[in-house]
Structure 1
């Protein structure tokens, strides 16, 4: 008899159990629903503000994440006329080969893989942030994890490595949350456009319910999905790229609203080049572009990144990313103020 290919198994807390342990107030529920509606209006062109998803590549330290979020909140209070700012809070990381898979998978970064504790810490952090009026975004990597946090998120991304996945498209069709689909890692935008079309429709599929039971789910479709350009083998944020995307989207009957990821392929993986992407976006909007509705920025307390291994997880530098490189808070503030100032008299005209 063939043996199962695992040495041990532990039972996972269910979404319902975790939500009962860490419930949220009616105030938070209302706050999250309002934020989703605002983002939906931005995607549909009914709100002139620029949606900005800003934060670290990944969350690895709860204290740091809270500090960063509170600083971001102070910035938002001064720019909310033209910018709708959401904190990027990513708990899962897709790996090209191997590496730390994120706070949910290994919260203590020591190969103990206490996933139940990771889920608990992640939900607790999200609640603390929303209680401080900090709105949140994440990426769904494991389709099952969305059920643990779906009541706390204002926006969700489907990443470049999972954009072709049928189950991710089905999950997106089930969510009552705005979803952005990134182009493939090679720069191909058609998988993301196909995903937007697919996720807008009804689907019947196998999933898990709040009690962790396998069930047949019927989704109603998600009309609040959009494209994210993240570059590939070369950047794809230039004017000619945007015009081309607009045509492709309109040809399939989709609203031509686009978010630009300033990092990854668009910065050629040089975090300092994110400002060049920002400057191009500002110039394009000044020249009359109406399709760019959002910007994604990788930012943290201090700039750069550091290498994590099992021997140094207790000796990491404070406020420095352990995955992709990030700009620091001062640069983040300068960039956000720049966007707010330079587009101040222009954004409202996009509604006319």
Structure 2
């Protein structure tokens, strides 16, 4: 076979033993899990705001950013649940470019998965320990979920992964809400099939074990826009798109109907400033329709300290090295406006 086996990586149990979560953090995370689940299930009318850098590329700046969310969470706690995006695995359309902290703890040095596993665990733990905010990350590699499952309160399955069998089956065993994005084609049935699969129990292979799951009732949808056969972005956050998805939900035997709207990616055509307008339109649609008010549970926003993005090696503190993000001032203002508009 054409593989060079470089390192035998530690198991999730070994990593957790090396970096155990403090007891007080276990309790804080459990409380946050329940709050997020209640928002998804409709037991709470709090609105989810999953917000943070496109990629968590630098521990210090990510901690700086997430520490700023603490005051905003306190100020809006009656209406919002803020979940920091700590995205340490990055899907790449062509396979080129920075693949996230898991691959490269230092974007300017060679890849090291062994170092990366330590780095992502350490970063997620620091966020929870220092801010009290449990985190969100993308399930890019299903086998890796167990390295962080005791820290995350939210998991996203990306547009390129949503049709994958293993992603769906592993999601069925997660104990926190998992959001299934629509595929890049925009086919809503693919996303809904993924939700159906994850909401039901399965038996399958995971990390050399035969495992059994009971299903994850908090699995839901994420609209992130689509791309046409001509390469044009097709947004799907408009009122008519939201109503269509709600209708399709009602035609299926799915529990806890719920949708999160991703304000960036193909919904904004990566025009990061448009996230502000898109979020406000989504809030307007919720106010206009009682069905959407109970169906749209939150938004995803890409945001960092400095707006825009930069190339690796430019060393601008708190600025994205992948997709462009909102800056802090716009983000802070938008969070307060969301709290007023829900």
TM-score of Structure 1 vs Structure 2, range by shorter chain: over 0.9
Aligned 1:1-352 pairs, distance under 5 A: 4-97=1-94, 98-110=96-108, 112-132=110-130, 133-208=132-207, 214-233=208-227, 234-254=234-254, 255-288=256-289, 289-290=292-293, 291-308=295-312, 312=313, 315-343=314-342
Q: Distance in 2 between matches of 1:20 and 1:317?
A: 35
Instruction: Report deviation, 1:112.
Output: 2.0
Q: 1:112-144 CA distances to partner (integer Å, 9 max, x unpaired)? A: 211111111111111111112122101010111
> Residue 350 of structure 1 aligns with which residue?
none
Contact 2:224 2:261 in 1 (8 A): yes
Contact 2:7 2:114 in 1 (8 A): no
Q: Distance in 2 between matches of 1:251 and 1:241?
A: 16
Task: Name the larger-Rg structure.
Answer: 1
Q: Distance in 2 between matches of 1:139 and 1:342?
A: 28
Instruction: Report deviation, 1:111.
Output: 5.0
Instruction: Report deviation, 1:106.
Output: 1.4
Q: Distance in 2 between matches of 1:8 and 1:168?
A: 24
Q: Distance in 1 between matches of 2:287 and 2:156?
A: 27
Q: Distance in 2 between matches of 1:324 and 1:238?
A: 23
Contact 1:90 1:138 in 2 (8 A): yes
Aligned length: 330
Q: Distance in 2 between matches of 1:7 and 1:238?
A: 48
Q: Distance in 1 between matches of 2:46 and 2:304?
A: 23
Q: 1:168-193 CA distances to partner (integer Å, 9 max, x unpaired)? A: 00110111111000001121121110
Q: Taking structure 2 as the reference length, what is the TM-score of the superposition?
A: 0.94
Instruction: Report deviation, 1:32.
Output: 1.3
Q: 1:279-301 CA distances to partner (integer Å, 9 max, x unpaired)? A: 11121122133211110000000
- Give the direction of change, closer, same or farther, for the CA distance of 1:7–1:342 in structure 2 (3 Å limit): closer
Q: 1:136-164 CA distances to partner (integer Å, 9 max, x unpaired)? A: 10101011111111100001000000000
Contact 2:56 2:100 in 1 (8 A): yes
Segments of 5+ residues of structure 1 without an aligned counterpart are 209-213, 344-352
Q: Distance in 1 between matches of 2:172 and 2:191?
A: 14
What is the root-mean-square deviation of aligned Cα atoms in Å? 1.2
Query: Which range is displaced more, 246-255 or 323-332?
Result: 246-255
Q: Distance in 1 between matches of 2:172 and 2:123?
A: 26
Contact 1:70 1:134 in 2 (8 A): no
